[in-house]
Amino acid sequence: MSYKKWFDEHAKKHQIIMDKLTQLNDKEVIEYFRFENMVKNEPNFCPLYKENKKCHDTQKLNCYLCACPNFRFNENGFAKEGKMTLFSKCDIKSPEGDRFISENAIHQNCAGCIVPHKEHYIEKVFDRSWLHIMRKVPCE
Ligand code: SF4
């Protein structure tokens, strides 16, 4: 699945949950998206939930911002670096981020970064529309 397809499908799944939570205040919405609650009440939101697995090895994982508003992707590539095309990058150059480099492509590797999974960060950028928070992610 391309990142764009995943992004569009994830936006729909997020919106369906948000439509159920209109009675909750912002803090309660963020708490609802804690991993432990999501595994129990929203098992189809993430494929890892079925195995009770986390995408990052951290005790307090919040899934409201899967994915990250600082991620940038362009299916046509941002730039050439030698023979390789840069398809994705981190807008804040997080020191916890890394790169996947293959023969022809460079992709952002967020495996070691938990910036968007921290509740104080989610509170900082919070909006009830996931697409609004993510509005700068797809660059076409
Ligand atoms: S490295 Fe961290 S801050 Fe940067 S895009 Fe990835 S998850 Fe977001």
Within a domain: 17: yes
Within a domain: 35: yes
Alpha-helical runs (H) found in the chain:
3-20, 26-32, 35-41, 119-125, 130-133
Within a domain: 90: no
Atom 6 in ligand 1: which residue has the minimum CA distance? 110
Within a domain: 86: no
Per-residue pLDDT band for 133 (boundaries 50, 70, 90) equals: very high
Within a domain: 63: yes
Which domain range does residue 64 map to?
3-71+114-133
Name the pTM for this structure. 0.92
- For residue 23, report the distance from its CA to the centre of ligand 1, in Å: 31
pLDDT reported for residue 3: 84
Q: Any bridge partners for residue 105, and if so which?
A: 85
Q: Is the pLDDT of residue 135 over 70?
A: yes
Within a domain: 83: no
Q: How many domains does the chain have?
A: 1
Within a domain: 87: no
